[in-house]
């Protein structure tokens, strides 16, 4: 069966830039346009609104220079206005070849905003289209507020379409301007128009106010539209537009009768670039592109992935240039740990795997997530601990750090089953801890090794609440040796490393 081709017009640089607080620079606009056309393979790009500013004029001009040189000029579009040719001059001077003319798609907007009759509006539109033609600019028309028009003034919409379909326009762009349509209304209105005006190219432009953007896009495709407007990361006015990533996945998986040119494997790269340039963070649970959406957290899911991929659906991360991940934390099981170890090229025997899993769960209880980068440190810590017989146990401690007072520590330590309690002050909390410990060892007539080096580091790639590792170098009369401690708290790390030392000397 031959599939029906659908054009994808990306409007990240026009409607997406209407996201509150977002403004792309000239070079960012150019880079995004190049990536959209050459990597993502969108069919058309709407890059700006006419007349906005001098900066926008320069951005449009430089994109058009590049587009002309590379054969893309008729795929670059600019939103323009019915303003007696002012937009046309602006576009002609910047090299634009296609305008998306903003006209009124509801009687409500026409009467209350423009205060014009349909006849006056149509005459002005006709004039602008002719002016554009005379300057070599092709026209698509937007019917702003079209969805309300279909609900409340369908006779006006039909009167408009009867007029416009006789004009030299390439495409008719139908926006759900306020994002109010339900999927069933989208299907009904678009089926109606596609049937009534055969052969006319209709684009659908969804907004996401009720989070129905993607669902409405799917209905529009099924109803027979010829094009869709999408934005990277769903950027756009208010709640944004239908998101490129979700719409593409839904079309590819649920509308096999149509064909789109988008290269799925480039979606993530483009999303990340737009995230950086726009400064708008992608929510971690945003389908396809969010940080967490391909991460299995529960041990039972990771286990199922090993057993005939029981927890996979068609949204395989590799399609979008991503990888499945297995989170480490209190809900992880052995399978999560094993999956991460495989990636690091490590293998543990069953007993060690159990210990490491237990430690990850304990840590997860404290800080909720542990990263893959933490794992080698945890392994070395857990396996290290098993080398020592725990003759000395630091059972409890209170450390105090208060402004204007010397740090102090009270500790309780068990040595060969005998319990000791001491307190001391120090230059810092760990120093106070070591001074209290020295008092305990004095009582036992034993001495402690000298601390000759103390280093702290966090696991690479971790954030400020990461696990840290303290590496302490000790010196006795006979030997120099190192112990390590791992925890999310720096002082606790040092105490853990010290307890290991106490069991070595």
Contacting positions for ligand KIV (CB under 6 A): 15, 102, 142, 144, 175, 177, 205, 207
Least gap, CB of 205 to ligand KIV (angstroms)? 6
8 Å CB contact between 436 and 400: no
Directed axis angle between helix 375-385 and helix 350-367, to 10°? 120
Question: Coil, strand or helix: which one is 170?
Answer: coil
Least gap, CB of 336 to ligand KIV (angstroms)? 44
**Smaller CB distance to ligand KIV: residue 175 or 299?**
175
Least gap, CB of 109 to ligand KIV (angstroms)? 10
Q: Which two tokens stand for residue 289?
A: 């592109």
8 Å CB contact between 486 and 377: yes
**Smaller CB distance to ligand KIV: residue 177 or 483?**
177
Least gap, CB of 203 to ligand KIV (angstroms)? 10
Contacts of residues 459-463 at CB distance under 8 Å and 24 or more positions apart, as own/partner, are: 459/371, 459/373, 459/374, 459/376, 459/377, 460/373, 461/371, 461/373, 462/371, 462/373, 462/374
Least gap, CB of 31 to ligand KIV (angstroms)? 23
**Smaller CB distance to ligand KIV: residue 87 or 371?**
87
Catalytic residue status for 14: yes
**Smaller CB distance to ligand KIV: residue 102 or 468?**
102
Q: Beta 325-326 vs 392-400: how paired, if at all?
A: unpaired
- The beta strand positions in 401-449, using DSSP E, are 408-415, 418-425
Query: Which of the residues 17, 56, 77, 144 is marked catalytic?
Result: 144
> Which has the closest alpha carbon to 244: 202, 289, 197?
289
Q: Looking up tokens 């000298």, which residue turns up?
A: 450
Burial 390-405 (b: 16+ CB within 10 A, else e): eebebeebebeeeeee
CA distance linking residue 176 with residue 426, whole number of Å: 68
> Which has the closest alpha carbon to 337: 386, 309, 378, 291?
378
Sign for the pseudo-dihedral over CA of 326, 328, 332, 338: positive
The phi and psi torsions of 47 (rounded to 5 degrees) equal: -100, -15
**Smaller CB distance to ligand KIV: residue 214 or 332?**
214
Least gap, CB of 291 to ligand KIV (angstroms)? 29
8 Å CB contact between 138 and 99: yes
Query: Which of the residues 7, 14, 17, 359 is marked catalytic?
Result: 14
Least gap, CB of 132 to ligand KIV (angstroms)? 17
**Smaller CB distance to ligand KIV: residue 100 or 435?**
100
**Smaller CB distance to ligand KIV: residue 102 or 223?**
102
Return the DSSP state at 124.
H
By annotation, the residues acting in catalysis are 14, 144
């Amino acid at each position: 069966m031959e599939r029906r081709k659908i054009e994808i017009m990306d409007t990240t640089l026009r409607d997406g830039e209407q996201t509150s607080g977002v403004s792309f620079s000239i070079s960012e606009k150019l880079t995004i346009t190049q990536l959209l056309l050459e990597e993502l393979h969108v069919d058309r790009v709407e890059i700006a609104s006419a007349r906005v500013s001098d900066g926008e004029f320069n951005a449009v001009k430089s994109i058009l220079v590049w587009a002309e040189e590379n054969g893309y000029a008729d795929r670059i579009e600019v939103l323009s206005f019915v303003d007696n040719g002012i937009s046309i001059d602006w576009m002609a001077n910047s090299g634009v070849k296609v305008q998306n003319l903003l006209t009124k798609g509801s009687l409500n907007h026409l009467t209350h905003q423009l205060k014009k009759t349909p006849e006056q509006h149509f005459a002005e539109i006709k004039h602008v289209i002719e002016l554009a033609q005379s300057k070599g600019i092709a026209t698509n028309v937007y019917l702003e507020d079209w969805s309300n028009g279909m609900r409340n003034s369908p006779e006006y919409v039909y009167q408009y379409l009867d007029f416009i379909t006789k004009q030299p326009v390439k495409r008719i762009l139908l926006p759900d301007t306020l994002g109010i349509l339900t999927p069933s209304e989208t299907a009904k209105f678009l089926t109606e128009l596609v049937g009534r005006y055969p052969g006319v190219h209709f684009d659908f432009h969804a907004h996401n106010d009720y989070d129905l953007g993607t669902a409405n896009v799917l209905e529009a495709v099924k109803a027979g539209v010829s094009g869709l407007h999408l934005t990277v990361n769903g950027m756009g006015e208010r709640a944004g537009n239908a998101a490129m990533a979700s719409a593409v996945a839904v079309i590819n998986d649920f509308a096999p009768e149509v064909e789109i040119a988008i290269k799925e494997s480039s979606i993530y790269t483009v999303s990340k670039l737009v995230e950086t340039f726009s400064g708008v963070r992608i929510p971690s649970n945003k389908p396809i592109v969010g940080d967490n959406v391909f991460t299995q957290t529960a041990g039972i899911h990771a286990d199922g992935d090993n057993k005939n991929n029981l927890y996979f659906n068609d949204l395989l991360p590799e399609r979008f240039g991503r990888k499945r991940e297995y989170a480490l934390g209190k809900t992880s099981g052995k399978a999560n740990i094993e999956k991460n170890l495989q990636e690091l090229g490590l293998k543990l025997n069953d007993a060690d795997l159990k210990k490491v899993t237990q430690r990850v769960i304990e840590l997860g209880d404290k800080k909720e997530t542990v990263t893959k980068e933490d794992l080698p440190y945890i392994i070395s810590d857990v396996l290290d601990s098993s080398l020592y017989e725990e003759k000395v146990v630091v059972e409890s401690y209170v450390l105090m750090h208060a402004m204007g007072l010397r740090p102090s520590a009270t500790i309780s330590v068990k040595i060969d089953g005998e319990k000791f309690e001491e307190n001391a002050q120090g230059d810092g909390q760990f120093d106070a801890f070591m001074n209290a410990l020295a008092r305990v060892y004095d009582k036992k007539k034993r001495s402690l090794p000298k601390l000759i080096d103390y280093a702290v580091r966090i696991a690479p790639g971790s954030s400020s609440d990461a696990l840290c590792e303290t590496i302490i170098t000790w010196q006795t009369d006979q030997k120099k040796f190192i112990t390590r401690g791992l925890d999310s708290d720096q002082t606790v790390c040092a105490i853990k490393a010290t307890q290991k030392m106490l069991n070595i000397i």
